[in-house]
């Protein structure tokens, strides 16, 4: 499935911009000066805007279900080939962005000394990033936000593995209900246990509550299924509310809200038609590249303004705006020159099903 979904593109576009602004506000140092002008906005961006990740998680689960098992059962007989295709599509641009990040870090180090600068990398650090296990091994990140790429791949692999195992075990007409039940059980396990313990935040199970809501949003939003999807989602909402009663988590409430809008948008038909905005559609298409490249680009702009620009709140705030613009422009360039070209490698010997959309793809 290659057709674009305008509402998904809009969610990606908004989420990516919030993450860019969050990194600018959280890591400074330009926004340390901006804080004097707009303290409330900078504090919100530095602390709360990162919850845009929940939008990415839900959207990623929604697109994975759409691609892997639109009717609830796995469409491909070659899951390992599909997993490689996913890796090539997501990880190859990510590795290219890490090379850019390492160069940008050294350029920034020449102009400033700041605790936002990553340490000098070694081979082991790069290898763990390439294998997407750096979060599991507690290896320092080479760039901000790259933990998400590893988690996204874990979540995709977990869903793919569940679908494959259940496909081998299940027989029609029980296969689809079994898949729905097991995925719902994993969502419940995440919401009521794993997501309550920050020690699990390097593992897919911590995030599967939000990701699984996206998966269930696709399966429960088919307009042709009568009332079955709505009954499923009544149960999902009840379970989420119970989980929030056990411990309130704004990030889970946001994930539930996003999932509900996806259910409604598909059932009502405007998933494919709204919003009609070329700008949002384009920002959605380049969102993964913007996400990958924003920190190193912002780091260089921060360093240059720290070294050469007046230490004045207005001037430094102009630097923040310049960094935001540069993240988008260079992210767009990276998308066309790198992400699209490397992504084609994952389409060689394409298996019977698509690889599913990443949060930024």
Mean pLDDT, the chain cut into blocks of 10 residues (361 residues total): 82 97 93 95 96 97 96 87 92 96 95 89 94 94 94 97 85 74 97 97 97 96 83 94 98 98 94 93 97 96 95 96 98 96 68 46 44
Q: With the CA atoms of 66, 67, 73 and 79 taken in that order, what torsion angle do they form, in degrees rounded to the nearest 10? A: -160
Whether the upstream peptide bond of residue 29 has omega within 30° of 0, thus cis, is: yes
Q: How far apart are CA 353 and CA 238, in angstroms?
A: 33
Give residue 355's pLDDT.
44
Give residue 116's pLDDT.
86
For residues 187 and 208, the answer to whether their CB atoms sit within 8 Å is yes
Give residue 227's pLDDT.
78
What does the radius of gyration of the chain's CA atoms come to, in whole angstroms?
21
Token pair 């790259």 is found at: 146
Give residue 358's pLDDT.
53
Q: What tokens appear for 286 in the block?
A: 């380049």
Cβ atoms within 10 Å, residue 248: 9
Phi, psi (deg, nearest 5) at residue 290: -60, -45
Q: Is 138 left (phi over 0), alpha (psi -120 to 50) or beta?
A: left
Q: How far apart are CA 140 and CA 192, in angstroms?
A: 29
Give residue 75's pLDDT.
84
Give residue 347's pLDDT.
65
Give residue 361's pLDDT.
44
Q: How far apart are CA 300 and CA 248, in angstroms?
A: 38
Q: How far apart are CA 338 and CA 289, in angstroms?
A: 9
pTM above 0.85, yes or no: yes
CA 123 to chain centre: 26
Q: How far apart are CA 98 and CA 93, in angstroms?
A: 9
Q: How far apart are CA 323 and CA 49, in angstroms?
A: 17
Q: How far apart are CA 210 and CA 216, in angstroms?
A: 10
């Amino acid at each position: 499935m290659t057709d674009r979904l305008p509402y998904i593109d809009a969610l990606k576009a908004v989420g990516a911009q919030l993450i860019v602004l969050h990194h600018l506000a959280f890591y400074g140092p330009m926004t340390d000066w901006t804080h004097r002008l707009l303290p409330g906005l900078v504090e919100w961006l530095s602390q709360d805007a990162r919850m845009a990740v929940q939008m990415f998680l839900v959207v990623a689960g929604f697109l994975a279900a759409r691609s892997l098992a639109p009717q609830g059962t796995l469409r491909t007989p070659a899951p390992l080939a599909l997993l490689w295709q996913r890796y090539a599509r997501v990880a190859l641009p990510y590795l290219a962005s890490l090379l850019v990040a390492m160069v940008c870090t050294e350029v920034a180090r020449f102009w400033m000394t700041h605790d936002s600068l990553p340490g000098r990398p070694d081979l082991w650090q790069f290898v763990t990033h390439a294998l997407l296990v750096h979060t599991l091994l507690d290896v320092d990140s080479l760039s901000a936000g790259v933990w998400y790429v590893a988690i996204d791949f874990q979540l995709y692999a977990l869903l793919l593995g569940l679908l494959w195992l259940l496909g081998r075990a299940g027989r029609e007409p029980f296969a689809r209900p079994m898949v729905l039940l097991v995925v719902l059980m994993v969502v419940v396990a995440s919401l009521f246990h794993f997501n309550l313990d920050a020690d699990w935040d390097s593992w897919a199970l911590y995030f599967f509550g939000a990701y699984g809501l996206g998966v269930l949003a696709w399966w429960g939003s088919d307009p042709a299924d009568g009332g079955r999807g709505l009954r499923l989602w009544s149960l999902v909402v009840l379970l989420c509310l119970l989980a929030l009663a056990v411990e309130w988590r704004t990030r889970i409430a946001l994930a539930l809200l996003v999932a509900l809008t996806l259910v409604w948008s598909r059932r009502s038909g405007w998933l494919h038609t709204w919003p009609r905005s070329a700008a949002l559609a384009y920002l959605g298409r380049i969102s993964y590249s913007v996400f990958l490249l924003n920190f190193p680009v912002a780091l260089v702009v921060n360093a240059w303004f720290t070294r050469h620009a007046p230490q004045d709140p207005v001037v430094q705030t102009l630097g923040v705006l310049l960094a935001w613009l540069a993240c988008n422009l260079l992210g767009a360039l990276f998308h066309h020159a790198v992400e699209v070209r490397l992504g084609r490698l994952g389409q060689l010997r394409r298996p019977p099903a698509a690889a599913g959309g990443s949060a930024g793809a």
